[in-house]
Amino acid sequence: MDLFGGSKPWSALDWTSSDDRVRGGASQSCLECSTPFSIATFKGTLDIKTLGGAGFASQRTTADHTWDLSAYDGILLHLGKSDRKMYTFILKDELLPKSPNGREQSTISWEFDFKGPADHSSISVKWADLKPTYRGREKKDGVPLDLKNVKRFSIMMRSFFGTQEGDFSLDIISISATKDKENIDTPYRDDPNEKGYTILDSRKGEETPTTRQSWMAWLFGCNVS
């Protein structure tokens, strides 16, 4: 199921920046959506000097929306070209009201770090791959991710303890919820409404040629002529 991109075209209105400027930093990011090619480019500049070696720049979803992903086994990131820097994919299942100073209150983030590809590539993120963190630190005693109530998606660029900085760019073709192949239901082959249903010739009690071909192909996994 496409969540962003693919069959659901990217829109810059669905995303907003969440950079270290809220903490006095100087990093900045944006999400440029290319309509003709249906690609979103996460780009900007990561500054780590202002905050003494730390820094982050990110884009997050803006919609007041809840995604139920409980029927799926993970996320597929379909990526285009990038600078081969390290990025972080983030989910949240809880959002609290803003504090009196206007800042968002901290909640647990579920994070997955990955290296941007040199060219097109797909990265499969299983739910078990997402690590719970709170204010940047791993939270080992956290409750499991509530897949029925996913509230936010984010893509982040950060310094990883001062190991990267400067301009960055990552093309994202789509973000999708996926099922493992072995968990996808196979149609019941004796259902006459399903493709591959076996029809018997009433005169001979035999399969018709076209039906025999589709049945044999299903059984042996190849075309039979």
For β-strands 109-115 and 137-138, DSSP reports them as unpaired
How far is 18 from 168, CA to CA, in rounded Å?
A: 15
The tokens for 202 are 């009433």
CATH 2.60.120.430 positions along the chain are 2-182
Using CB atoms within 10 A of its CB, is residue 35 exposed (0-12), middle (13-18) or buried (19+)? Answer: exposed
d(CA 91, CA 77): 13
Residues in the chain, how many? 225
The architecture that CATH gives domain 2-182 is Sandwich (2.60)
State residue 100's pLDDT score.
Answer: 81
The span from the CA of 54 to the CA of 27, in Å, is: 10
Q: Which amino acid is at 172?
A: I
pLDDT string in tens for the chain (225-residue length): 999 999 999 999 999 999 999 889 999 999 999 877 789 999 999 999 999 989 999 999 997 899 999 999 999 999 999 999 999 999 999 987 777 877 778 899 999 999 999 999 999 999 999 999 998 889 888 789 999 999 999 999 999 999 999 999 999 999 999 998 755 544 444 444 544 434 434 344 444 444 334 433 433 444 444
- Residue 210: its H or E element: helix 209-220
DSSP structural state of residue 12: G
* Beta-strand relationship, 152-158 and 200-201: unpaired
How far is the CA of 6 from the CAs of 11, 74, 177, 184, in angstroms?
12, 17, 12, 20
